[in-house]
Chain A
Amino acid sequence: QQQVKQSPQSLIVQKGGISIINCAYENTAFDYFPWYQQFPGKGPALLIAIRPDVSEKKEGRFTISFNKSAKQFSLHIMDSQPGDSATYFCAASRRSSNTGKLIFGQGTTLQVKP
């Protein structure tokens, strides 16, 4: 129940294409779903996050789609660029957590080809 399952493990997209990464969770106590982006040799950084009271959040080329009934959420990267090549982690945290402990998905390595 604590897990967040992420797919695919790796993804290759052509420049200008759409990258889609999916995550699923079981624990209905989760109420915050961030996506972190990590470049090689760097720490993860928050990319975008969503709460379960909205179905979609968009920031520039990045969009989170959230399906509460299916307990799934996904990251869409529009007009993917080589600079987007990185590892992406979805995560979840519980509303009861005062420490903001995150449960991470397994990660998706994205390669955007020029």
Chain B
Amino acid sequence: DAMVIQNPRYQVTQFGKPVTLSCSQTLNHNVMYWYQQKSSQAPKLLFHYYDKDFNNEADTPDNFQSRRPNTSFCFLDIRSPGLGDAAMYLCATSRGGARETQYFGPGTRLLVL
């Protein structure tokens, strides 16, 4: 029944070592989002795809990249993780449109050593 699946649930990486987080969806939604959420803070949108169209937030560091090879999958690549990148990374999907519900995955907790 899982609709938005994130793997892994926990990821430990070393400072500067590239890491990839994965998201898949069974909802066939047009839009996929990546959020970063730090402790006791709101989710912060990093970027999103509407189908194949990529939309980067202005304040998203270049260190963060994303790929969406098909409708179902989306990846978050952190090229050189720093200690400040330790956070929960949330993937969400929606059909698109201002009043559509966003469905969030359970998140990947990233720890940077």
With beta carbons under 8 angstroms apart, the residue of A89, A100, A106 that contacts B97 is A100
| Interface of chain A residues 43 through 65 with chain B (CB within 8 A) | 43-46, 49, 51
Q: Which residues of A contact B107 (CB under 8 A)?
A: 41-43
Of the listed residues A94, A100, A102, the one surrounded by the most CB atoms of chain B closer than 10 A to its CB is: A100
With beta carbons under 8 angstroms apart, the residue of B4, B42, B102, B105 that contacts A100 is B102
B100 touches A107 (CB 8 A): no
> Given A43-B92, A106-B41, A106-B42, are A96 and B98 also a contact pair (CB < 8 Å)?
yes
A98 touches B90 (CB 8 A): no
B4 touches A105 (CB 8 A): no
How far apart are the CA atoms of A4 and B12 in the complex, in Å?
33
B98 touches A107 (CB 8 A): no
Known: A31-B98, A101-B45. 17 other contacts (CB 8 A): A36-B104, A43-B107, A44-B43, A44-B90, A44-B104, A46-B101, A46-B102, A49-B101, A96-B98, A97-B98, A99-B48, A99-B94, A104-B42, A104-B43, A106-B42, A107-B41, A109-B40
How far apart are the CA atoms of A95 and B97 in the complex, in Å?
8
Count of chain B residues with a beta carbon within 8 Å of a chain A beta carbon: 26
Beta-carbon nearest neighbor of A51 in chain B: B99
How far apart are the CA atoms of A36 and B35 in the complex, in Å?
14
Determine the main DSSP class of A at the interface with B. Answer: loop
A-B interface contact total, Cβ < 8 Å:
68
Q: For residue A15, give the distance in angstroms from its CB to the closest CB of chain B.
A: 24
B90 touches A43 (CB 8 A): yes
> Given A34-B101, A43-B104, A43-B107, are A98 and B43 also a contact pair (CB < 8 Å)?
no
Q: Which residues of A contact B55 (CB under 8 A)?
A: 99
A43 touches B106 (CB 8 A): yes
Q: For residue A69, give the distance in angstroms from its CB to the closest CB of chain B.
A: 21
A99 touches B31 (CB 8 A): yes
